[in-house]
Structure 1
Amino acid sequence: MSKTINLLDIRNGQIKDLAGLDLSGMDLSGADLTGADLSGATLRTNLRGADLTGANLNNADCRNADLRGVILADIQAQNISLAGAFLAGSVLSHLDFTGVDFRGCDLRGATLIGTILLQADLSNTNLSGADLSQADLEEAVLNGAILRGTNFTNANLLCAQVEQAIMEGTILTNTCLDGTPLDN
């Protein structure tokens, strides 16, 4: 059972315990949510420019959320759903997104250096110009992804699915592609 908050404006404010709340449609842009407990929360909202450093986002529903410019350093993100989220230009380096649903996300120009994306679903995701150098994408699904100019230098794409992806200018220097047929 989720709790709902209506008509609360915390832009540029600071709140720590939002676990299990339904914050759909709210404007949380610029909010200071450092260390906040957002576990199990429904965050289908505007979080543009918010600071989520150290936040607990385990089991959070962030589908279709606007997360552009959000600070996501040192977050907990097990079982988070990011399908359809707007993460263009975001910095998601050195985070663990094992098994996360990124289907249809906008990750253009995002920085995912050293990010763990084991078995993550990145189907139909726009990763144009994204930096996934040193990322671990073992068994990830990239079917239908847009990978124009995407940097996979020193990345692990072992047994990844990359069917019908657009790979113009994709950088694959020293990339592990064992068991990954590149069907374009």
Structure 2
Amino acid sequence: MHTARDIVRPVLPVLRKPRAADGAAIWKLVRNCRPLDENSMYCNLIQCDHFADTCVLAEVHGDVVGWVSAYVMPNDPETLFVWQVAVDEQMRGSGLGALMLQSILTRDACEDVRRLQTTITSDNEASWALFRKFGRLQGASLDVQPYYTQALHFQNRHKTENMVTISLAREVADAA
């Protein structure tokens, strides 16, 4: 139940590692966050179960309001690849996305991480805003290159995914 205190003093989300039991709630959140690609519920379950050390869930009053799925690249332990960031409509613009990214980078699993990568389509304004902001917080610019192209990789069924790379500030990487 929300109280008058919540109106005056907003409740901060609780950030935690996901559990397999969170898979369905995450799937529902992502489904409500267009234009994100919807994965299968099973995929979200696997992310929670196998990649919990590099994923984060945000809750307010027990409701899932944010999700980041990420993993350290198998052939490059200095790179954290962010698969998906989903923020509930009521929390957008609050800085939750950047907070979740930062929380992952401080974990032991990201001890060797020196850069963050993700792919973004040209029309995903929310993701561009988040990663530009995160880059500014790191004192870094975004390196952007077409990666999975509409014609070659998606048979013209999906827009080109641009690879975005952010070099992390040394002190942030060392704090992890």
- For the criterion TM > 0.5, the same-fold answer is no
TM-score band, normalised by the shorter chain? under 0.3
Higher share in helix: 2
RCO higher in 1 or 2 (8 Å CA, sep ≥ 6)?
Answer: 2
Relative to the length of structure 2, the TM-score reads 0.28
Higher share in strand: 2
